[in-house]
Chain A
């Protein structure tokens, strides 16, 4: 090995503290995670294929048997109804990406390295969730194009539809914080993936995402209407102009779906980022 100028310097930068360097650290970590995505494109591609498959299966296999109230004779009605549900389910899969990613960094010793650096304590997690947000947005674009190709249409203004997508992204961002906490809590990336997904299926299926809630038994209807996930589906469906004709549900979270959706997402971000950063400080890889 050749000689080096000097191993020990005098100008050691110290952390300035505060919000701005914290954001910069987060951006450095996010950049690293985004780079990884370009190096392992199969993760991104398979992540996109799953919701596309759901769209096609639900539309063509199950769709014929599902009748949306008030649209009895329209064969296209279920597609319009379904898409907000699929979009919302797709964004919740950010849980798996975040939990597996963080768990992998823990087992590979990278979290220990990050924790020994003079960087913001929140940056590893913020950087992770920001990168997941980018991936979620990309997936939504691809999914939207597929949906458009098979006949899904937006019936409201571009601005309203845009707000609909923002609500979905906010939900996805909130769920990736749940994933971050799972990733910090389990011991292996494999366990993190299943721990991230196992509760998502009941959560997303006992909701208004795939079938009209009015067809469920009474006790289940109450759960489905009050399911936080249903609020975002209802809000997005409304903002896309995809609500079925006729009087909608009269439950409070359904009537105030947009506000309830934002409220839940913000609450989840605040609670889970607090829990996760606390856990990160003491995490041992």
Chain B
């Protein structure tokens, strides 16, 4: 709705101070959009793709061309500039798509799962680009299923479960909400799991989570490394063989689990397609104060 692709049934919204319903074209000239599926024309070259987008942002043909070359350079696509996008790898296409969203240096950007399906190297490279943008003052609205991505890129995180915002705040605020450290134990023998849970219970500051197939138990604790030593001794005294054990700070995954009470639903396994974007974290990193406002 904020990108003007959908019209809301009611209410109103502003992007960078411009009313989405009253001046949709003004909004469109202020935003850049990059989706989950790289929306580039595979029969055009990288340069032609960016130049076309520039011209459709109402730039002159010459400016659009200059900007296209500048972006190709920035995204390390100069060498592929005159090849059709069909010959690009997945990572290159995604970079081209992101470049297309940056043609007019938009003050507000919408990225829908920008790194879904990318290998770790390309994901890191894309994160660096996104961080640079944010440093330079772009307001970014990012949706992602990778909570690690939200943790790294976002200042302000809204956790969405089945269409409802269930929590908002910075990554640290969200983590603080569910408590501090936790001990994670992986036992050697799955039959030891219940025994191990019993052993951990005296140290637990909350309900332990058990993952049967990975033989992993996670319990919130307080007391740091001392507790870890105690837990190891306790398990040892009960002759439970430990495969792996560690103390760690909560991740946003833990936040999500404790907030929703269930494991992140796999999109593929979703019984009805309607809930497609249900379990996502919408993350926003803002430089200017509250550029996106939505009321209903």
Say whether, besides A1-B74, A9-B105, A14-B25, A117 and B7 are in contact (CB < 8 Å).
no
Q: Taking the complex as formed, is A155 at the interface, i.e. its CB lies under 8 A from any CB of chain B?
A: no
Interface-forming stretch among B49-57, B165-173, B215-223, B252-260?
A: B49-57
Q: Taking the complex as formed, is B207 at the interface, i.e. its CB lies under 8 A from any CB of chain A?
A: no
Interface-forming stretch among A28-36, A66-74, A79-87, A177-185?
A: A28-36
Question: Which of chain B's residues 93-144 have a Cβ closer than 8 Å to chain A?
Answer: 100, 102, 104-107, 125, 128-129, 132-133, 136-138
Closest to B29 in A: A118
- Find out whether the CB atom of B39 lies under 8 angstroms from the CB atom of A13: no
Chain B residues near A25 (CB-CB < 8 A): 56
Total cross-chain contacts (CB, 8 A)? 126
Chain A residues near B3 (CB-CB < 8 A): 116
Chain A residues near B73 (CB-CB < 8 A): 2
Contact of B4 among A15, A28, A31, A116 (CB under 8 A): A116
> Chain A: residues with CB nearer than 8 A to chain B?
1-9, 12-17, 21, 24-25, 28-29, 31-32, 35-36, 39-40, 108-110, 112-119, 123, 282, 284
Chain B residues near A1 (CB-CB < 8 A): 74-76, 125, 128-129, 132
> Chain B: residues with CB nearer than 8 A to chain A?
3-7, 25-26, 28-31, 33, 35, 37-44, 48, 52-53, 55-59, 70, 73-76, 84, 100, 102, 104-107, 125, 128-129, 132-133, 136-138
Query: How long is the Cα–Cα vector from A108 to B39 in the complex, in angstroms?
Result: 6
Q: Taking chain A's interface residues, is the majority helix, strand, or loop, or is none over half, making it mixed?
A: loop
- Find out whether the CB atom of A15 lies under 8 angstroms from the CB atom of B25: yes
Closest to B59 in A: A13
- Find out whether the CB atom of B44 lies under 8 angstroms from the CB atom of A12: no
Contact of A6 among B28, B31, B39, B136 (CB under 8 A): B136
Contact of A12 among B29, B53, B132, B138 (CB under 8 A): B29
Say whether, besides A7-B102, A8-B138, A35-B43, A17 and B55 are in contact (CB < 8 Å).
no
Min C-beta distance of A255 to chain B, whole Å: 47
- Find out whether the CB atom of A2 lies under 8 angstroms from the CB atom of B58: no
Say whether, besides A7-B132, A12-B104, A15-B25, A112 and B39 are in contact (CB < 8 Å).
yes
Listed from nearest, the 9 A-B pairs whose CB atoms lie closest are: A9-B105, A109-B39, A118-B28, A118-B29, A116-B33, A113-B39, A39-B43, A15-B25, A7-B136
- Find out whether the CB atom of A17 lies under 8 angstroms from the CB atom of B25: yes
Chain A residues near B31 (CB-CB < 8 A): 116
- Find out whether the CB atom of B44 lies under 8 angstroms from the CB atom of A13: no
Chain B residues near A39 (CB-CB < 8 A): 43-44, 84
Closest to A31 in B: B52
Min C-beta distance of B22 to chain A, whole Å: 14
Query: How long is the Cα–Cα vector from A123 to B25 in the complex, in angstroms?
Result: 14
Please name 14 pairs of A and B residues whose Cβ atoms are closer than 8 Å in the assembled complex, sorted by A. Answer: A3-B132, A12-B104, A12-B105, A14-B29, A15-B58, A32-B48, A109-B35, A112-B35, A113-B39, A116-B31, A117-B56, A118-B29, A118-B58, A282-B7
Chain B residues near A6 (CB-CB < 8 A): 105, 136
Min C-beta distance of A247 to chain B, whole Å: 52
Contact of A35 among B48, B53, B59 (CB under 8 A): B48
Given A118-B26, A119-B28, 11 more A-B residue pairs with CB atoms under 8 Å apart are: A1-B75, A1-B125, A14-B58, A28-B56, A108-B37, A109-B35, A113-B33, A113-B35, A113-B39, A116-B5, A118-B58
Closest to B5 in A: A115
- Find out whether the CB atom of A8 lies under 8 angstroms from the CB atom of B136: yes
Query: How long is the Cα–Cα vector from A29 to B33 in the complex, in angstroms?
Result: 19
- Find out whether the CB atom of B138 lies under 8 angstroms from the CB atom of A7: yes
Closest to B136 in A: A7
- Find out whether the CB atom of B52 lies under 8 angstroms from the CB atom of A28: yes
Closest to A10 in B: B105
Query: How long is the Cα–Cα vector from A115 to B6 in the complex, in angstroms?
Result: 10
